[in-house]
Amino acid sequence: MYHLYILKCADKTLYTGIAVDLAKRIAEHNNSKLGAKYTRARRPVKLVYSRKFRTRSTALKEEYRIKALPRKEKLALIQL
């Protein structure tokens, strides 16, 4: 399973990514050098949305779609 996730950073920005082990990846974003460069400068981050996918391909397609959305639409998605 692949997890698509959206994190809310300390500066109120949003970060979208995919991972196999969601808990481990969030810990990396918050505590290690393995987290994305974007989130390292904006810690702590908080999980605000996640969704499971069977294949990496479908997860990547949805990640791409969400990253293209305006912030307002991303916030609406998080509220669901």
Report the distance separating Cα 12 and Cα 78, nearest Å. 13
Answer for the pair 1, 20: CB distance below 8 angstroms, yes or no. yes
Q: Where are the domains of the chain?
A: 2-79
pTM attached to this predicted model = 0.94
Q: Which CATH class is domain 2-79?
A: alpha beta
CA distances from 65 to 51, 54, 59, 62 (A): 14, 17, 10, 5
Bridge-partner residues for 7, per DSSP?
15, 47
Q: What is the pLDDT of residues 35-70, one digit of tens each?
A: 899 999 999 999 999 999 999 999 999 999 999 999
Report the distance separating Cα 60 and Cα 10, nearest Å. 25
